[in-house]
Structure 1
């Protein structure tokens, strides 16, 4: 069984639904190590953003 970067990223919650076929082709070439880094970044950003997610005045996400 070969590594499927698109499937692994999708399973971890990356929204690839708006990616074009060309973009998906590039994503499919990512190595396991590269996908691991992307997943790690996603997890860390989600943890950091949760603390800043609620803005009472505008209700928007503040980075």
Structure 2
């Protein structure tokens, strides 16, 4: 899944830490409700927190643009 890939890339780039926090339900800036379902977890709300510098953050976002 994308969330695990992002954490793996941050680790490869030398990040000092990362955490994934998943939720049962939530909504974003559009107001659309996102929730996890038994058979489909793709829409499960996830927060990624990383211990990285601003430069590492910019490099990570450049990797995501590819």
Same fold (TM over 0.5): no
Larger RCO (CA under 8 A, 6+ residues apart): 2
Give the helix-richer structure, 1 or 2: 1
TM-score normalised over the length of structure 1: 0.29
Give the strand-richer structure, 1 or 2: 2
State the structure with more CA Rg.
1
TM-score normalised over the length of structure 2: 0.28
